[in-house]
Structure 1
Amino acid sequence: MGKKLSGKDLIKLGFPKNNSINITLGQINRYHKRKKKNQILAEAKEVLLNPAQYKEDGVWGKIAESLLDPVVVKKQQLNPVRAPFHIFGENEIEPQAIYQLYDALKLPVSVAGALMPDAHSGYGLPIGGVLATKNAVIPYGVGVDIGCRMCLTVYPIPISYLEGKKQQWSNFLAEHTKFGMRETHAIKHDHPIFEREEFKTIPLVKRLKDKAYKQLGTSGGGNHFVEFGKVSITDTQNEWGLDPGDYVGILSHSGSRGLGAQIAKHYTYLASKQCPLPQKVQHLAWLDLNTHDGQEYWLAMNLAGDYAKACHDDIHARLSKLIGSKPLVTIENHHNFAWKQEVNGQECIVHRKGATPAAKGELGIIPGSMTAPGYIVHGLGNERSLNSASHGAGRLLSRRKCKETLTHSAFKKQLEVHGVSLIGGGIDEAPMAYKDITKVMANQQNLVEVIGSFTPKLVRMDH
């Protein structure tokens, strides 16, 4: 008997001569490389005899599924007709983003869709795209940065205080916020998230636990930020009982870091194998939620979303301690995620890739740019947008275009005009790279109601 496990070994055990052999070899190669061959064969024999007992197992569950109820892999074709949809602020959206939504609406699993007024093209679903599907989840419909979200904390500090503390608070941002691939906090914090069952039972997630622990309380590169600024509460009937007026606030934008990126990559690969699609829409491959991989992705995605929240909580807790103040209010929301939601009377999976949940009365925060205000909003529960709104101003210029057409002096001038101090942040994040947030908000008056705003003053981004 050779040292390496082969298909012949599995056939000898009694495995049927079908795809269950490839799946078994794949799972063992991925997760049980270090186990001795005899031990693997003994375990495989147990699974073969009692597959139903192993359905919930992280490694053997997929093999049990292949023996009991194999996933049918068939080449998928797009429907000739699009599912119903609505586009908000169509005149401000590039055609390519609209065509991307049109393609997504032709998937056999699509039920309805919408495009937000900040939309621009992305991979698979456009950024600002919302798609409801029947019992299927599209990893690229959620996005690579799973659970990318906003978090705003409001403090009982008058805004004039910020001006006097400018230098000290800039130092807090420079020294106590971490960005990009390499930076992590010298003193790591623990968090209940690391006790979660998924870190024990999902093999891929288990491997990523150390990385997630190291990156807790850090932010990604690109358009992620942590800012001190002015919170203006305009709603006299606000639910926190705050007096209308100006307060100091901290706003952060970041996601699930390496944990989310690896989950997205792994399950996108699995989806593409199980759901072959025409080339132009291959990024929209989905996982059936009744399959082992579909259920596992759903659990991993929700974990990544909760981890993203834990990162924001850690960032805000560190800064709260430094400024010596307890928060009055925290407002937060995901904008790269999938939710179970009723659409036209049936339960669907609603993907929001760069879109804010805006169910009736739901709180959200929609940022502008580093010089433009962001808005605190209540959702209006508009069915036509699938209870969604924009996730920001949206990009006007691609990163490449910014580098080709914008100058550092014009960038600097914009910051001076608006009285903004910037730490880090490249020209590809210049205010001119973004659409006009006031236009975007005007195009979604029937999606959200504005109850306050946040104006950035001290901004920290990746270098």
Structure 2
Amino acid sequence: MPRLRLTGKALRNIGYPEGPAISVAITAMEKQFRHHSEEAALDILKQVLLDPMAYLADDGLRKVAGKLMETKEEEDIPLKEIPVPYEIYGAGFIETGALQQMNNAVRLPVAVAGALMPDAHHGYGLPIGGVLATHNAVIPYGVGVDIGCRMCLSILDLPVVSLERHAAKFKRELVTQTEFGAGATWVGKTEDAVLEHALFREIPMLRHLHKKAVEQLGTSGSGNHFVEWGIVQITGTNEFNLPAGTYVGLLSHSGSRGLGAQIAAHYTRLARELCQLPRMAQHFAWLELDKEAGQEYWAAMNLAGDYASACHNQIHRRLIKAMDARLLARVENHHNFAWKEIHNGQEVIVHRKGATPAGKGVLGIIPGSMTAPGYIVRGRGEAASLHSASHGAGRAMSRFNAAQSISQYELNKYLKEQGVILVGGGPDEAPMAYKNINEVMAAQSSLVDVIGRFQPRIVRMADDGGKED
């Protein structure tokens, strides 16, 4: 396999400034990513350039990020000298990079309030686990690339013993009835009301995405997206009127696919053109909701959220039918989204980047990992958290570090010990790459009450182990 060779010209062509950042980037890429193609390497460097702070904790790219952070540019819109105070949950196991990102977010002129969840780790724009309330402004990168990424749990009437007795059938249908990957499409006609939405005709950029939306409806992304069979334990009084006990459950995690990614890319570029911020905060560029661009993004974002929900419903419908099961109850919730809410008596825009809505009485799902339990929760409406909770266990290791330090053998051995069957996935998504879900839940006991748990048994993920779509 040929070794990677980059040139300064190639880096300048993608926007790298003249100076030491170029040589540092070339050295890092040719050492750490020497088997990547030039196109793949430049794509990684584009992401670092867009949000260098997100890579300060990445062993392979932190030197590049550091050099980019040293670059000074004229600040057209100054940040607040005194940041908005915010509550941190689980501070003892949140990495520095996530704290730095959140510290920048609460210095935005439009920032009103914030909170950081215990699963927090560095991401793009807001840290994963970051919650930010703004006045009359929506931040496309505060919502994220995978708009409306979502959890969906179906509780079924199948006997729990069937998961073990008929594991081969559960696995076979899981593979047959799902498609994963960044470019995955569903073969066959899939109908859903979301595809008839008027916005696909009214907004020019959405017209061009309708075909993609049709083809990808009912599919899942890559990275940490999954569909899995498992055992649901209901522990007490619940909104489903189900007796306490154990049930078969179907749990899925994915978002708005290529539709959401293209919406995010388009409006992030537009926001950065309209809202000039210092380099360290460029990824927080916002759109004002009383202006046409902001209103258009808001409408497109909500469409992407509806589309994400429709994808889950299609997947669950196919699998429930294939297993000849009956739906007893369902719990769903978005993350990577923005909501109009009232806090402290005023309407604000609450961005939850990898955070679960947890208003008083609101139900949600907080997953662990492919072997650790997930939790069915009821929000307590805690004001300091902006009515939010974590969206999962959160990463303890970056994908790069996990792939470098965890072998496929170690992953397979651990899965066997835990009694979990995995289809797809890879060491970058290994349970060891995640925080301890029980510690995360303990750190947010004031935010949610647990009413049930989900234990994975047969897990399906993308084969490529790549980034979320």
TM-score range, shorter chain: 0.7 to 0.9
Aligned equivalents of 1:388, 1:181: Cα separation in 2: 29
Aligned equivalents of 1:238, 1:144: Cα separation in 2: 34
Letter in 2 for 1:366: I
Summarize the alignment of residues 19-418 of structure 1 with structure 2, pairs less than 5 Å apart: 75-235=76-236, 237-418=237-418
Shift of 1:181: 2.6
8 Å CA contact 2:156–2:326 kept in 1: the answer is yes
Letter in 1 for 2:179: K
Letter in 2 for 1:419: G
Aligned equivalents of 2:342, 2:187: Cα separation in 1: 45
8 Å CA contact 1:224–1:254 kept in 2: the answer is yes
Letter in 2 for 1:269: R
Aligned equivalents of 1:272, 1:231: Cα separation in 2: 44
8 Å CA contact 1:158–1:246 kept in 2: the answer is no
Length-normalised TM-score, structure 1: 0.83
Aligned equivalents of 2:184, 2:95: Cα separation in 1: 36
Aligned equivalents of 1:183, 1:389: Cα separation in 2: 31
8 Å CA contact 2:272–2:282 kept in 1: the answer is yes
Shift of 1:182: 3.5
Aligned equivalents of 1:89, 1:168: Cα separation in 2: 41
Shift of 1:326: 1.7
Shift of 1:460: 0.2
Aligned equivalents of 1:378, 1:183: Cα separation in 2: 34
8 Å CA contact 2:408–2:426 kept in 1: the answer is no
Aligned equivalents of 2:140, 2:295: Cα separation in 1: 12
Tell me, what secondary structure is at the counterpart of 1:307? helix
8 Å CA contact 1:228–1:459 kept in 2: the answer is yes
Structure 1 residues 148-157 or 401-410, which shifts more?
A: 401-410
Tell me, what secondary structure is at the counterpart of 1:146? coil
Q: What residue is the counterpart of 1:47 in the other structure?
A: none
Shift of 1:184: 2.1
8 Å CA contact 1:85–1:112 kept in 2: the answer is yes
Q: What residue is the counterpart of 1:441 in the other structure?
A: 441
Aligned equivalents of 2:82, 2:316: Cα separation in 1: 47
Q: What residue is the counterpart of 1:57 in the other structure?
A: none
Q: Which is greater in Rg?
A: 1
Shift of 1:183: 3.0
Deviations 1:379-399 (A, max 9, x none): 000000000000000000001
Deviations 1:33-89 (A, max 9, x none): xxxxxxxxxxxxxxxxxxxxxxxxxxxxxxxxxxxxxxxxx9211010111210001
Letter in 2 for 1:177: T
RMSD over equivalenced CA pairs, Å:
0.8
Aligned equivalents of 2:256, 2:322: Cα separation in 1: 24
Q: What residue is the counterpart of 1:431 in the other structure?
A: 431
Shift of 1:344: 1.4
8 Å CA contact 1:84–1:111 kept in 2: the answer is no
Shift of 1:114: 0.2
Shift of 1:319: 0.2
Aligned equivalents of 1:193, 1:130: Cα separation in 2: 28
Q: Which runs of 5+ in 2 are unaligned?
A: 1-74, 464-469
Q: Which runs of 5+ in 1 are unaligned?
A: 1-73
Q: What residue is the counterpart of 1:4 in the other structure?
A: none
Paired residues, number: 389
Tell me, what secondary structure is at the counterpart of 2:309? helix
Shift of 1:264: 0.2
Aligned equivalents of 2:407, 2:197: Cα separation in 1: 47
Letter in 2 for 1:155: L
Deviations 1:103-157 (A, max 9, x none): 0000000000000000001111100000000000000000000000000000012
Q: Percent identity?
A: 58
Aligned equivalents of 2:235, 2:188: Cα separation in 1: 39
8 Å CA contact 1:119–1:126 kept in 2: the answer is yes
Shift of 1:328: 0.4
8 Å CA contact 2:184–2:220 kept in 1: the answer is no
Tell me, what secondary structure is at the counterpart of 2:186? coil
Shift of 1:402: 0.8
Deviations 1:150-189 (A, max 9, x none): 0000001221111111001101111210001343222221
Letter in 1 for 2:114: G
Tell me, what secondary structure is at the counterpart of 2:394? coil
Aligned equivalents of 2:170, 2:219: Cα separation in 1: 18
Letter in 2 for 1:97: A
Aligned equivalents of 1:169, 1:277: Cα separation in 2: 51
Letter in 2 for 1:105: V
Shift of 1:96: 1.3
8 Å CA contact 1:372–1:455 kept in 2: the answer is yes
Tell me, what secondary structure is at the counterpart of 2:416? helix
Shift of 1:373: 0.2
